[in-house]
Structure 1
Amino acid sequence: MKVFSSLLIFLGILAIGSTDGDEEFANYNVTNRKYPDGFKFGVATAAYQIEGAWNLDGKGEQIWDTFFHEHPERSNDGTNGDVATDSYHLYKEDIRCMKEVGVDYYRLSIAWSRLLPDGTIDNVNKNAKNYYTSLFEELRANGIEVMVTLYHWDLPTALEKQGGWLNPQVVDWFTDYATLCYHLYGTYVKDWVTINEPKQICHVGYGDGGYAPGVRSPGVGEYTCARHILLAHAKAWRVFDTQYRPTLKSRNTIVVDSDWYEPATSADEEAAETKLQFVHGMYMHPIVFGNWPQIMIDNVAKFSQVQGFNESRLPAFSNEEIELIKGTFDFIAINHYTTYMVKARSQPSYAVSWVADSGVDSYQKDTWETAAIGWFKKVPWGFGKLLRWLRKTYGDLEIVVTENGVSDRDGSLQDQHRIEYIKNYMSHLIDAIHDGVRVTSYTLWSIIDNFEWTQGFNGKLGIYFVNQSDPNLPRIAKDSSRYYANVIKTKCLLDQCVDN
């Protein structure tokens, strides 16, 4: 009998260890707790996705212009961002929507090739200088704070022709551009983001070639890109820190996106941690601690040797570079949308790629609800787990959620699915806050339906519908805009909440 009891206990431990979020949160109820006092709410966009005016008023060509002009079939619906939502001319309409919702701040990006048509400070576009000044003035007049992303994937084509993010000179090109922006717009900006989502830039832009500039260099170019991204960020951050912070009193960071990676069983916990280090840690670990995660260093060196390379495909940082990169952030900025399950590989893959170097397999469950964008599954409990992992991994640091949202294809004004997504994801965020995670802001993507990269206009993530068939491109409120407005007003996700 004692042996049987011990076996039951052992099996119970196994069951607890292998429980994933689906089981853990099967009976989950949206919290009735309020957001804490001082919590801020915003919305976000990116220049290429909304501005349009791709060749007006002196703007130079950038890699997404080139990417779609050369191959229109690269977007899901054959469209491009030449006009997008024409926010270059209609930015006051966008701000009207933000004012209507009551957001505290707006996260937007400056188009590098609009301000510097050939990418260098030798040629500054006066029209662009005036455009962004007018935009910032309008935001200020409406009481909306500004968070500016300097680089949201749109490298000037003139620089890409010289190697782009694979050319070590890009570190200085970017630093010069960032310094100009600090100088021109520093008095308007509360928070700066140097670079948005280096994972997408390097692994999709210079790894598998699915995004602009469409370079295919898996396992080699994508690591070179990552190295230059980190150095460019660090150098631009140091300029800000020494030359501009003392007078501007603003802050600066980088945005690193990450899905949550849930172990399929208790035996896969190490695999899940490895995947998190390859996805998020690859960029945040150097910025916090100074160097690549050790598991990356070890894995890439091991696979490189087996594959016949003379040295690791992961380029090393010098001691001087480690000191340059370490500590170049004022808060952790995270973009999050979905979750994956992770299993350890029974047999290693010797393909030369960043994905293979992690040595694990990831997948999404068929039972999870899919958003309009195919890879995008709605898994709200993963959000809370990721936020807790950030605190556990990097310490008690401030976290700002710089993107979160959900897509559909029809842009329905009765978008209850979006309301449910926002409600459930934000509920898990509030739970994380009450568990001690220091999240101070939430940024919804996006204020308006916009051009969603290779999805074209098929991926609609806005809380305002933009009618692409109407030449006036009117912005029309969806139900989700009213829901988000009420959350901001009441600091509550439900009709009634309890005080904290």
Structure 2
Amino acid sequence: MTSNLQLCNYTFPKGFAWGASTAAYQIEGGWDADGKGPNVWDTFTHQGGDRVFKNQTGDVACGSYTLWEEDLKCIKQLGLTHYRFSLSWSRLLPDGTTGFINQKGIDYYNKVIDDLLTNGIMPMVTLNHFDLPQALEDQGGWLSENIVGFFNKYAEFCFNTFGNRVKMWITINEPSIVAKYAYENGLHAPGIKESGTGAYQTAHNMIKAHAKAWHTYHLLFKEKQHGFVSLALNANWAEPLDPTSEADVKATERYLAFSLGWFAKPIFIDGDYPPLMKSSVAAKSKEQGYPSSRLPEFTKEEMQMIKGTADFFCLNYYTTRKIRHQEYAQARPSFQADEEVEEIKDPSWPISSIEWLAVVPWGIRKLLKHIKDTCNDPIIYITENGFAQSDPAPLEDAQRWEYFRQTLLEILKGIYIDKANVKGYFVWSLMDNFEWTEGYSKRFGLFHVDYNSSSLPRVPYTSASEYAKVVSSNRLPEPEKKLK
């Protein structure tokens, strides 16, 4: 099994994309600077109520709105070929619409893009990474079908403004997280709790918004700009807790359908939701006395519009779960009760400093093969992969680098043994940042940020220098032990 790897000397394919990722709300700060409008995370964090660690906010964060040159130094120090960042929709369009365009916002992103290109670094740009303009949330946000049109206009504006230089676009980051945490259980901004319906309605509108924007690009911009458009899907790998239990095996299939398949199947395969998901929600809805399934249906025309609307596959991978069948005796409908699974962390897996992130490098290889086999063998970019440290975090982060090394080794196996078409890898994150409800208590960065200093200095962790070596040589140092 190792000969293929040894033959290629632990080297990644020629032209492999080496990157790091960030998101606007998590790093920029300048929350109301230069005409920026509020977004849902501004509102959510300013409301307090202990929904975020110590009621922290992204008002200042890493100060990247004024310290972009410092970020660029970090990117260059790593020798990255690519940098993934997101645009703040409300910095560009303060009320979410093109009725008023904020030139200062355009100037900022023009500088970021131009500086990257000047230094030979390819920008990968996310249009929306959780931070919906508050003005659009006030009109129903992702729960309203009107968002499809608003998002499409915003996407067209961005393609038109930046597309002559940006060739890699991601429409929406992790739509399943937005659906479940922002509109189903209310743990993320805007904090809406619509149990049993919110997640499905949100996802339905996000899929349509993504598809429409993809068509807009291909119709109006592709011929001249020659770029590519996708969306970033987060997924855990999953295996049955008891492989001999039919219930656990079925539950694992359901888990994958309700997570990855929910978005991947409509977009990469046939424009419709996974059958397991449809049958589960329909059965539960019927039991609960609903006249029809709580999972919305796409029309035939919508299915035609949606299928095939991704030019590559963007995967955010962090962890793996063992799955056990679990029925939830809940009076009210919920996504969790529809899914009927219990997620279990194997006690043998090390845990990073964030409770949910069990370290399971081999899971990424299995997930890559699953995507290859079920999504028409797409080109894959791993657009996020990371390991959290607690604050205060040691600069000598040997455990984290070992996690990255093992993960990259599994990716090599995926490429050479399983023939997965992986074209790039992006670490989450370039630097420590505002980690959503965890605030600044968890640190994912390759660079340490000192939030107690007004200059917010960036200092490399050990993992940054180790990653830089891999990037510059396009290969992993050979492991001391033989591969299995």
Is this a same-fold pair by TM over 0.5?
yes
- 2-side partners of 1:479 and 1:115: how far apart? 36
Decide whether the 8 Å contact of 1:45 with 1:108 is kept in 2.
yes
Kindly tell me: are residues 47 and 367 of structure 1, through their superposed partners in 2, closer, same or farther at Cα, counting changes over 3 Å?
same
Match of 2:234 among 257, 265, 287: 257
Aligned residues: 471
Within 5 Å, which residues of 2 pair with 1:305-324?
305-324=286-305
Unaligned 5+ runs, structure 2: 1-5
- 2-side partners of 1:169 and 1:36: how far apart? 43
Q: Which amino acid aligns with 2:388?
A: S
Range that drifts further, 167-176 or 34-43 = 34-43
1:351 CA drift (Å): 4.8
- 1-side partners of 2:155 and 2:438: how far apart? 29
Q: Deviations over 1:71-106 (max 9, x none)?
A: 252211331100000000111111111111111100
- 2-side partners of 1:352 and 1:118: how far apart? 34
Decide whether the 8 Å contact of 1:405 with 1:444 is kept in 2.
yes
1:154 CA drift (Å): 0.4
Decide whether the 8 Å contact of 1:77 with 1:458 is kept in 2.
no
- 2-side partners of 1:321 and 1:44: how far apart? 32
- 2-side partners of 1:85 and 1:347: how far apart? 41
Match of 2:443 among 454, 460, 473: 460
Q: Deviations over 1:440-486 (max 9, x none)?
A: 10011111111111111111000111111110001111111110000
Residue equivalent to 1:469: 452
Match of 1:370 among 348, 351, 356: 351
TM-score when normalising by structure 1: 0.91
- The DSSP-based 3-state class of the residue aligned with 2:230 is strand
1:411 CA drift (Å): 2.8
Q: Does 1:359 align with 2:366?
A: no
Residue equivalent to 2:319: 338
Residue equivalent to 2:3: none
Counting aligned pairs with the same residue, the percent is 39
Within 5 Å, which residues of 2 pair with 1:407-426?
407-409=388-390, 410-426=392-408
Residue equivalent to 2:132: 155
Q: Does 1:179 align with 2:156?
A: yes
Residue equivalent to 1:197: 174
- 1-side partners of 2:232 and 2:208: how far apart? 15
Decide whether the 8 Å contact of 2:432 with 2:447 is kept in 1.
yes
- 2-side partners of 1:145 and 1:155: how far apart? 25
- 2-side partners of 1:201 and 1:343: how far apart? 25
Q: Does 1:248 align with 2:230?
A: no
Range that drifts further, 342-351 or 197-206 = 342-351
Decide whether the 8 Å contact of 1:42 with 1:443 is kept in 2.
yes
Q: Which amino acid aligns with 2:436?
A: W
Q: Which amino acid aligns with 1:272?
A: T
1:496 CA drift (Å): 7.7
Q: Which amino acid aligns with 1:82?
A: D
1:152 CA drift (Å): 0.2
Decide whether the 8 Å contact of 2:327 with 2:340 is kept in 1.
no
Q: Deviations over 1:399-423 (max 9, x none)?
A: 1101001110123210111101100
Residue equivalent to 2:371: 390
1:135 CA drift (Å): 1.2
Within 5 Å, which residues of 2 pair with 1:209-248?
209-248=186-225
- 2-side partners of 1:346 and 1:457: how far apart? 36
Kindly tell me: are residues 103 and 170 of structure 1, through their superposed partners in 2, closer, same or farther at Cα, counting changes over 3 Å?
same
- 1-side partners of 2:385 and 2:147: how far apart? 29
- The DSSP-based 3-state class of the residue aligned with 1:356 is helix
Decide whether the 8 Å contact of 1:77 with 1:457 is kept in 2.
no
- 2-side partners of 1:474 and 1:364: how far apart? 36
Decide whether the 8 Å contact of 1:40 with 1:104 is kept in 2.
yes
- 2-side partners of 1:296 and 1:350: how far apart? 20
Q: Does 1:482 align with 2:459?
A: no
1:122 CA drift (Å): 0.2
- 1-side partners of 2:119 and 2:341: how far apart? 49
Q: Which amino acid aligns with 1:247?
A: K
Residue equivalent to 1:279: 259
- 2-side partners of 1:277 and 1:216: how far apart? 23
- The DSSP-based 3-state class of the residue aligned with 1:54 is coil
Match of 2:250 among 239, 248, 270: 270
Q: Deviations over 1:44-87 (max 9, x none)?
A: 00000000000010000000000010125221133110000000
Kindly tell me: are residues 257 and 347 of structure 1, through their superposed partners in 2, closer, same or farther at Cα, counting changes over 3 Å?
closer
Decide whether the 8 Å contact of 2:328 with 2:337 is kept in 1.
no
Within 5 Å, which residues of 2 pair with 1:1-12?
none
1:396 CA drift (Å): 1.8
Q: CA RMSD in A?
A: 1.9
Q: Deviations over 1:287-311 (max 9, x none)?
A: 0211011111111000000011111
Q: Deviations over 1:348-367 (max 9, x none)?
A: 76651112212222211233
Decide whether the 8 Å contact of 1:32 with 1:496 is kept in 2.
no
Kindly tell me: are residues 351 and 259 of structure 1, through their superposed partners in 2, closer, same or farther at Cα, counting changes over 3 Å?
farther
Decide whether the 8 Å contact of 1:349 with 1:359 is kept in 2.
no
1:345 CA drift (Å): 3.3
- 1-side partners of 2:446 and 2:350: how far apart? 20
Q: Does 1:89 align with 2:66?
A: yes
Q: Which amino acid aligns with 1:324?
A: M
1:344 CA drift (Å): 2.2
Q: Which amino acid aligns with 1:441?
A: G
Q: Does 1:446 align with 2:429?
A: yes
- The DSSP-based 3-state class of the residue aligned with 1:137 is helix
Decide whether the 8 Å contact of 1:223 with 1:315 is kept in 2.
yes
Q: Deviations over 1:93-132 (max 9, x none)?
A: 1111111111110000000000000111101001111111
Unaligned 5+ runs, structure 1: 1-28
Q: Which amino acid aligns with 1:456?
A: G
Within 5 Å, which residues of 2 pair with 1:97-108?
97-108=74-85
- The DSSP-based 3-state class of the residue aligned with 1:74 is coil
Q: Which amino acid aligns with 1:309?
A: Y
- The DSSP-based 3-state class of the residue aligned with 1:283 is helix
Q: Which amino acid aligns with 1:280?
A: L
Residue equivalent to 1:380: 361
- 1-side partners of 2:435 and 2:147: how far apart? 26
1:165 CA drift (Å): 0.5
Kindly tell me: are residues 496 and 220 of structure 1, through their superposed partners in 2, closer, same or farther at Cα, counting changes over 3 Å?
closer
Q: Does 1:327 align with 2:308?
A: yes
1:347 CA drift (Å): 7.6
